[in-house]
């Protein structure tokens, strides 16, 4: 739905009085045209409201970088309505030290009235949000480099993540963990998930809203034949569990995620939002459904081992190549699936779907025990 609304004409002038360069604006950037304007009062206990606010704040990060690229400042900036509508203020922007692009933001809830949304205790809430890949502008090259790091399970070694986790630790140390949300979309969801897992390993469990997070696996979920799909998943689990057992016996120091760490992470339950038509994140559906099916079949022991490991990672280890812990493996989650048919891949993967008032979703909590 990227629609060209038109060109800002000569009414926009620079400080020297000269007409500035004409600017094309996408409808998706303008809150009053594309944002959740229907949310005039927030019920912080309403999961749909939480989802819409978190997604809007992520969109705010996207527009912050677009404002920077298009040199839109002051009254011309399009980003502020994406957080001001919910009475947040911009506490700090997070900038990548490689290309100086804005990849994240820290928002502080600062209501003008103490009873905004009927929630006095939310006045100290902070949201740390991360955007995904921008396909236009100066940030594209660096974003693609980060996408490659996700594929290689190396996001934790990047300077962008170091900036992100330092910001998270600062906010937690300064304001406490109970008042903090993590939020992200696509690449940003991977960043938020990694930050959440890193903090959870230290016993700090942050609320997280992860929209269309990447799941690095063969697109089994796209197979229409249910028997074939389940057969492939069962065989993969058996092979993965077997390789994990052999690796444990032969290579005591093999670099795979330990059972103790996985169990420790199980207390952290992020909210994961996926669209079955989005191959980037759809495998989360099968990942959690298959675990339940294996338990029902009496093969829960096999799946408890398999779900902690990546088959590709185990194979790499057997070949003598070091492989880092896969980011997408997560013990527990509140999984929300968008059942509304999308027009195309762009809509299925987009952030805008998650604040629509007529969204048809199915949610289920998956707890690793």
Does the pLDDT of residue 332 top 60, yes or no?
yes
pLDDT at 329 over 90: no
Q: With 0.85 as the threshold, say if the pTM is over it.
A: no
Tokens matching residue 156: 């934790």
- From residue 320, how far is each of 27, 151, 209, 253 by CA, in Å? 51, 19, 36, 12
Q: Summarize pLDDT for 72-110 with one digit per residue, the tens.
A: 999 999 999 999 999 999 999 999 999 999 999 999 999
Pairing of strands 271-274, 333-338: parallel
Class of domain 39-229+258-297+331-366: alpha beta
Separation of alpha carbons 16 and 5, rounded Å: 27
CB 58 within 8 A of CB 35: no
- Are 137 and 69 in contact, with CB atoms under 8 Å apart? yes
Domain ranges of the chain: 39-229+258-297+331-366
Q: Contact at 8 Å (CB) between 177 and 150?
A: no
The pLDDT value recorded for residue 55 is: 98
- When mean pLDDT is compared across 194-203, 304-313, 321-330, the lowest value belongs to 304-313
Alpha carbons 340 and 337: distance in angstroms, whole number:
9
pLDDT at 290 over 80: no
pLDDT in tens, 335-356: 999 999 999 999 999 999 999 9
Q: What is the largest CA-CA distance in the chain?
A: 75
Q: Do residues 139 and 101 touch, judged by C-beta distance below 8 A?
A: yes
CA–CA gap between residue 73 and residue 143 (Å, rounded): 24
How high is the pLDDT of residue 231? 61
């Amino acid at each position: 739905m990227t629609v060209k609304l038109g060109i800002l004409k000569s009414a926009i002038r620079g400080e020297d009085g000269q007409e500035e360069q004409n600017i094309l604006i996408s409808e998706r950037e303008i809150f009053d045209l594309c944002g959740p304007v229907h949310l005039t009062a927030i019920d912080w206990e309403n999961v749909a409201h939480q989802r819409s606010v978190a997604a809007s704040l992520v969109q705010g990060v996207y527009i912050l970088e677009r404002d920077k690229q298009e040199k839109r400042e002051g009254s011309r900036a399009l980003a502020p309505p994406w957080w001001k509508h919910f009475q947040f203020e911009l506490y700090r922007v997070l900038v990548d030290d490689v290309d100086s692009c804005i990849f994240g933001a820290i928002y502080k809830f600062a209501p003008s009235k103490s009873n905004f949304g009927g929630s006095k205790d939310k006045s100290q809430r902070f949201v740390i949000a991360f955007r995904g890949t921008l396909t236009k502008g100066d940030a594209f090259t660096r974003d693609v480099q980060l996408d490659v790091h996700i594929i290689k399970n190396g996001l934790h070694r990047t300077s962008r993540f170091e900036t992100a986790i330092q910001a998270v630790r600062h906010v937690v140390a300064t304001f406490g963990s109970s008042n903090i949300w993590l939020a992200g979309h696509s690449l940003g969801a991977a960043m938020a998930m990694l930050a959440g897992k890193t903090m959870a390993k230290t016993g700090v469990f942050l609320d997280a809203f992860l929209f269309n997070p990447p799941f690095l696996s063969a697109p089994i979920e796209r197979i229409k034949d249910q028997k074939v799909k389940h057969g492939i998943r069962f065989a993969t689990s058996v092979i993965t569990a077997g390789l994990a057992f052999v690796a444990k016996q032969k290579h005591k120091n093999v670099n795979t995620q330990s059972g103790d760490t996985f169990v420790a992470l199980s207390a952290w339950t992020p909210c994961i939002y996926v669209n079955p038509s989005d191959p980037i994140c759809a495998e989360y559906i099968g990942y959690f459904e298959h675990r339940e099916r294996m338990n029902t079949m009496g093969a829960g022991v096999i799946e408890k081992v398999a779900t902690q490991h990546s088959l590709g990672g185990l194979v790499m280890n057997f070949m003598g190549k070091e492989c880092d812990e896969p980011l997408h493996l997560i013990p527990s989650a509140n999984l929300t699936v968008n059942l509304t048919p999308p027009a195309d891949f762009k809509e299925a993967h987009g952030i805008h779907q998650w604040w629509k008032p007529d969204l048809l979703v199915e949610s289920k909590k998956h707890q690793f025990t």
